[in-house]
Homo-oligomer: A and B are copies of this chain.
Amino acid sequence: MTDSKTRSFVSARMVAEKAGVSRSAVSRTFTDGASVSEETRRRVLDAAGALGYHVNHLARGLRERSNIVCLVVADMTTPIRAGMVDVLTRELQASGKITMVINTKADTESVSQALRQTLNYRADATVVLSGTPPASLIETCLANGQQVVLINRDDKLVGSHNLGVDNAMAGREAFFLLRRAGCQRLGLVTSTANTASLVERKRVFIEAARAEGFDVAVFEAGPTGYASGFEAGRRAFGRSNAPDGVFCVTDLLALGFMDAASHEFGISIPDDLCVVGFDDIEQAGWESYRLTTFTQPLKAMADQVLALLHDPDSAGSGRILFEPIPRWRKSVRPGPA
């Protein structure tokens, strides 16, 4: 319907002109709770429709909050990350915010750059899913009145909101499951990316095992992912004294490990090998794996983020911990072989 190539965004002034009213009237028409007569409103709406007018949220954000929330994330294709980004964007969207995604590497420099972008765009809040920003930058964000939410990150940063999953619980429970299954030679599969979460799961699992006199063989074959799990499996079974029960600190590692075990070595799961994962990504439920794992309560975490954004003081200081939900499937025996 729009006739010519306008080449540029239509503004309230143009609408006002076309409708024969003032710019104020146009503005009022588009802000709830303003007083406009039915007649004026209709004329404005007509003109706006004809011109294809849309309120400029950038300009609006100049005075008040921008309603922009930044998500800083690395390794977006990882199912668990994709899942987090998915819930968060959906919930933010639903509560009237718009999401900027900054896809970055996890190193400090990249994350710092991302945080600075966040500041440039006057985001109301920044949610960090990957990497660990330097404390000084978080400080700057805070000083600028921006909220910072760290998810599953190191918990030593002050001022920021900090949510995470109870990794210790998972480590302990994983050991319990393997022990109940009668596993004797325990293994732990992790990656060379020593993030706080991964380290914690590993530490607690090993401690729990030691406490009951079990030794744990550790396999670290590369970055977090299927390939590293597969390689770990090759290492584990390509030698004597192979494990018969392993806790993989991530589902992706677990899936790779299982594939190496069954396809390369013909090991049968859970008869000859029990495997516990963590994350409960969609693939863990696939028929070829049926992995027993722990679900990260993504929805609950996203809800908490939203609550925090809505009322920053709603949670006290300190880390907000979420219980991972044990997801029993078929990769662990219910009792000794």
Contacts and interface: CB of A to CB of B under 8 A. Distances in A.
Contact of A100 (B99, B103, B136, B264): B99
A86 B77 contact: yes
A299 interface: no
Interface in A208-267: 226, 230, 255-256, 259-260, 262-264
B89 A76 contact: yes
B66 A76 contact: no
11 contacts: A2-B139, A2-B140, A9-B145, A9-B146, A52-B144, A55-B120, A58-B59, A58-B121, A76-B85, A99-B102, A259-B287
A311 to B, nearest CB: 16
B77 A82 contact: yes
A260 B287 contact: yes
Interface of A: 1-2, 5-10, 52, 54-59, 61-62, 66, 71, 76-77, 79, 82-83, 85-86, 89-90, 93, 98-104, 116-117, 119-122, 136, 139-140, 143-146, 226, 230, 255-256, 259-260, 262-264, 282-283, 286-289
A98 B98 contact: no
A56 B122 contact: yes
A145 B77 contact: no
A54 B144 contact: yes
A100 B102 contact: no
Nearest to A260: B287
A136 to B, nearest CB: 7
Nearest to A90: B103
A62 B61 CA distance: 11
Given A58-B61, A59-B62, 20 more contacts: A5-B143, A6-B143, A10-B143, A52-B143, A57-B122, A58-B58, A58-B66, A76-B86, A77-B83, A79-B79, A79-B82, A90-B103, A93-B103, A93-B104, A98-B117, A99-B101, A259-B288, A262-B288, A263-B287, A263-B288
Nearest to A225: B282
A5 B58 CA distance: 25
B259 A145 contact: no
Nearest to A144: B9
Copy number in the complex reads: 2
A100 B100 CA distance: 4
A90 to B, nearest CB: 5
Given A58-B58, A100-B98, A143-B52, A230 B6 contact: no
A87 to B, nearest CB: 9
Contact of A286 (B55, B85, B144, B255): B255
Given A1-B139, A2-B143, A93-B104, A120 B56 contact: yes
Contact of A144 (B8, B117, B139, B288): B8
A136 B1 contact: yes
Contacts of A119: 9, 52, 54
A103 B86 contact: yes
Contacts of A146: 9
A14 to B, nearest CB: 11
Nearest to A2: B143
B58 A144 contact: no
B93 A98 contact: no
